[in-house]
């Protein structure tokens, strides 16, 4: 499996040289990051891969912003808050179902 692709959502490349630019990049790619979080965790869970997932690349493709398995649920909860805020109820349902599945395992 290509560990950097999940459901066709590729990790964005965030380019920055300061903390302020980092936050600007996070805002710029906010939607992609939340989708990436949902689908990377869903893919890893479906394939029984329980290591870190890649959310984004930082400045190059060698430095990763990842999410370890013990943070999956908390990151999905943040994704759920985002999907509620943009009123994407289909993604809300998908995210809630995945959270429930992970909590029941």
Task: Read off the pLDDT of residues 46-99 as tens digits, 9 standing for 90 and up.
Answer: 999 888 999 999 999 899 999 999 999 999 999 999 999 999 999 999 999 999
Beta strands per DSSP E along the chain: 13-14, 53-58, 64-67
Q: Is 80 exceeded by the pLDDT of residue 5?
A: no
Q: Is 60 exceeded by the pLDDT of residue 3?
A: no
Q: For the chain, what is the radius of gyration of the CA atoms?
A: 14
The strand pairing partners of 56, in sequence order, are 65
Q: Which of 8, 2, 66 is nearest to 39 (CA)?
A: 8
For the full predicted model, state whether its pTM sits above 0.85.
yes
Q: Is 60 exceeded by the pLDDT of residue 4?
A: no
């Amino acid at each position: 499996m290509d560990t950097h692709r999940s459901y066709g959502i590729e990790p964005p490349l965030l380019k920055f040289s300061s903390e302020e630019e980092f936050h600007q990049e996070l805002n710029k790619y906010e939607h992609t990051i939340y989708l990436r979080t949902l689908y990377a965790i869903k893919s890893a869970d479906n394939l029984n891969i329980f290591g870190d997932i890649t959310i984004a690349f930082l400045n190059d493709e060698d430095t990763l912003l990842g999410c370890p398995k013990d943070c999956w649920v908390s990151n999905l909860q943040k994704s759920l808050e985002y999907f509620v805020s943009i009123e994407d109820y289909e993604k809300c349902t998908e995210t809630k179902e995945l959270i429930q599945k992970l909590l029941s395992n």
